Structure 1
């Protein structure tokens, strides 16, 4: 399904550009440089899973093309999943890579199935993570079952040679309920 065209696409901002600064819990999750998969596994007491929603070749959104440094209208591989904790959808993740860079790279996003892309990216030391950016993710870009206004999302690009993999993660309300629970505060400390 092609991405929805928005009259005013979001502005992706770094931590330093956010005013006012987000609350500590929010800042901790949005700008943590470690593996989100590992943190979600810990928060869910190892009841973490990936639910694939859709994947395939698509024309990339203009903000994705800019982040990947490819021309507008470029085609890329798009993978959308829910990252689930204890059976609940906690995070919507959209990962994209430009076709021009992906072909011949030896990196096959199509074979991940229900495995975590983050786990793969963090285990391959050849990938370097770019700066984290955040925005209020447009509801029109979310799957129907998670469509809600003003949810916080973050993204970063992982680079290896000429290949860029842009990973966007949107934190859903069920996640924040769990992360904010008093008994979870010791579990969610960054590792």
Structure 2
């Protein structure tokens, strides 16, 4: 059990839990938190036993959740996506985003890209362009007005990103969608 805890071996998740006496926290064997000293660790067959002994669940590996395949990264990804969807029109920096989610900038960028295939900035750009597409089809506003509404600071960045994602200019997109809609 000690080896499984040191190796962060997910194969043993659900088989046992370990608790750290000095912190009062219990974890899954796969927890990526700092390896405790051997003399400060004790093992339990289930989470309930650890709680009975006064240990609280780790906030990183969430041993209190029933499913053994809990992935703490998914919560970070979902929080990041939700924040970006609700604030896409704002000028968002990776530092602000990381602070909101509660992790470091590096950890957020690396985890988000690993799980989604995109950086948070790429995801934000895609959201903005999707919203711009919607506005181009549903409103009479011009491309410049839409550019600022969806959070771009200048038209050239908007135009370049729009063309990169859509394969055409905003004007061509509006014209094409207008023809298909009639």
**Greater gyration radius:** 2
* Shorter-chain TM band: under 0.3
Would you tell me which structure has more strand in proportion to its own residues?
1
In the superposition, the TM-score normalised over structure 2's length comes to: 0.19
Q: TM-score, normalised by structure 1?
A: 0.19
- In terms of fraction of residues, the more helix-rich structure is 2
Higher relative contact order (CA 8 A, sep 6+): 1
